[in-house]
Structure 1
Amino acid sequence: MTAVFSLLIVLSISFLITRFGTAALTLTGVSHDLARLQSVSAFTGVGFTTSESEQIVNHPARRRILIVLMILGNAGIVTAVSTLLLSFLGATERNQWLSRGALLIIGLAVLWLVATSKWIEHHLSRVLQAVLQRFTDLEALDFAELLDLSGRYTVRTLHVEADDWVEGKSLSDTQLFQEGVTVLGIHRENGRFLGVPRGETAVETGDGLVLYGRKDRLSELDDRRRGSPGDEAHARAVSDQQEERRSQQAND
């Protein structure tokens, strides 16, 4: 019976470690969902070779966090498996098997409820972030929360084609800011990146415009084509943004 309790304790500690990893990665600017995925991935030893993973491993602080998670995860998984085997191999009677199995199932069910509880996750994350900010030099940069990326707004790359409405215009001529769209940067076709581009910067075919704005607005802009229909769509977008600003001011 002691072995079952030991296993549940190991699993509980593993849960806290992955939550610590999630909170730590979040403080480096990673979105909560990506931080949780990478934390669990590193702890369990399951790798994901995606562009998002490259953003993690190319960052020094994030690499250190993942290394710690991998080391602790390797030890934790081995301990958990060993404890589980010892628990059931030590049972000599049928009643012992049943009682230990029932206790294990109940314990796992409780841990699952705790792990999937949004209320517990919210408050635990706040506590862990406070601890990390108090005892580490990680800076709180949860861009997903700061920019409301889980709500109406998003960051999206618009790949410019020859017949797009923005193609051939300077950023100032597009007046995207009047539509409530901010140009964060431009990926040129030759691999060059222009951060916080100026108004006179021209938009060219093959560019990747990194935009921040409302999800519906960015989707419409991606489908907008050059010519009078595109100009009319721009005018409607500007009018819509002005109306939204008036509504926001009225609610302030």
Structure 2
Amino acid sequence: MRFIILYIVIILAVIEINVVLFTLTGLDHRISRFQVISMLTGTGFTTGESELIIQHPIRRKLGAFLILFGAFSLAVIISSISNMLSKNLFTKEIASIAGILIVLMLILKLPSLQKKLASRFEGEIKKAYDLKDLPIRDVFLNEEEDCFAEISIHPSSFLIGKTLSDLFEGEMDLNILFIKHGDIQIRQKRQSTELQAGDLLIVYGNKPLIHKKFKAELQAAKEKEAEAAVLNPL
């Protein structure tokens, strides 16, 4: 029984250590904990959050370790239960491993070390991987107010008939990546294309500025969603 308890302590320590490491790569703490437990137990939750793991080079390596460790742990626990009465269980050695992992977990929680590791992870990513290998979140959403938005041009919008060069000339922190007109994506001539009702603008930039510039369009979209919710209640 002591062996089982010690091994559970090791598993909990491994979870905490990996939660810290995932957090240092920029992942939210709550998401980190859920995904670490999911990978360790092999439950395989296929949520949108899992894409944050798969698309990140360092997180993928940590995830591979957790999956293998989880499979090994299951085998060890089953084996130990079947040999519960055996005197050959290396309780002292396992206790030492548990103690080392707990110390490592406490060290990793030191703010100074976390800062150094976060900087190191960022440097390794920039050195070893191209931008195309990284998820959008890590490339573009570095600041708290960085934002992507889809702006729909409603039938009564004042933007209809105008071009992007007329509307947003000189805006340094607002970028229209492309205009989606039906199934067509307009990028090369987006600055000179007259906007039409039903067009969709893919915008990247400062969130408060986007909300200011497209206040009417965002409000119209919100009202449309509210109306649809009333007409089609769950």
TM-score normalised by the chain length of structure 1:
0.52
Equivalent position amino acid for 2:195 in 1: V
Match of 1:222 among 211, 214, 217: 214
Q: What displacement does 1:79 show?
A: 1.7
Distance 1:71 1:51 in 2: 16
Separation in 2 of the partners of 1:223 and 1:33? 30
Structure 2: gaps (5+ residues): 86-91, 218-234
Structure 2 residue 163 is matched with structure 1 residue 161? no
| Structure 1 range deviating more: 10-19 or 148-157 | 10-19
In structure 2, do the counterparts of structure 1 residues 176 and 158 end up closer, same or farther at CA, with 3 Å as the change threshold?
farther
The equivalences for 1:43-122 within 5 A come to 43-44=39-40, 45=42, 46-50=44-48, 53=51, 62=55, 72-84=65-77, 120-122=113-115
Could you say which residue in structure 1 is the equivalent of 2:143?
150
- Determine which structure has the larger helix proportion and give its number: 1
1:126 aligns with 2:104: no
Distance 1:16 1:152, change over 3 A: closer
**Offset at 1:157?**
1.7
**Do structure 1's residue 8 and structure 2's residue 2 form an aligned pair?**
no
2:185 matched residue in structure 1: 193
SS at match of 1:219: helix
Name the amino acid aligned to 1:172.
S
Q: What displacement does 1:126 show? A: 2.9
Residues 104 and 41 (structure 1), Cα distance of their counterparts in 2 relative to 1, 3 Å cut: closer
Distance 2:81 2:18 in 1: 26
* Residue deviations 1:170-219 (CA, integer Å, cap 9, x gap): 111212543742212223322x3233654202222222212123222212
CA–CA separation in structure 1 for the residues paired with 2:167 and 2:39: 47
CA gap 1:133/1:216 in 2 versus in 1, 3 angstroms:
closer
Tell me the equivalent position of 1:33.
Answer: 27
TM-score (norm 2): 0.55
Instruction: Give SS of 2:158's match.
Output: coil
State how many pairs are aligned.
204
Deviates more, 1:70-79 or 1:207-216: 70-79
Superposed CA RMSD: 5.4
Name the CA distance, whole Å, in 1 between partners of 2:126 and 2:187: 29
SS in 2 for 1:33: coil
For 2:80 and 2:156, the matched residues in 1 are separated by 67
CA pair 205-166 structure 1, distance change in 2 beyond 3 A:
same
Q: Distance in 2 between matches of 1:153 and 1:220?
A: 14
Shift in CA distance, 78/221, structure 1 to aligned 2, threshold 3 Å: same
By how many angstroms is 1:77 displaced? Answer: 0.6
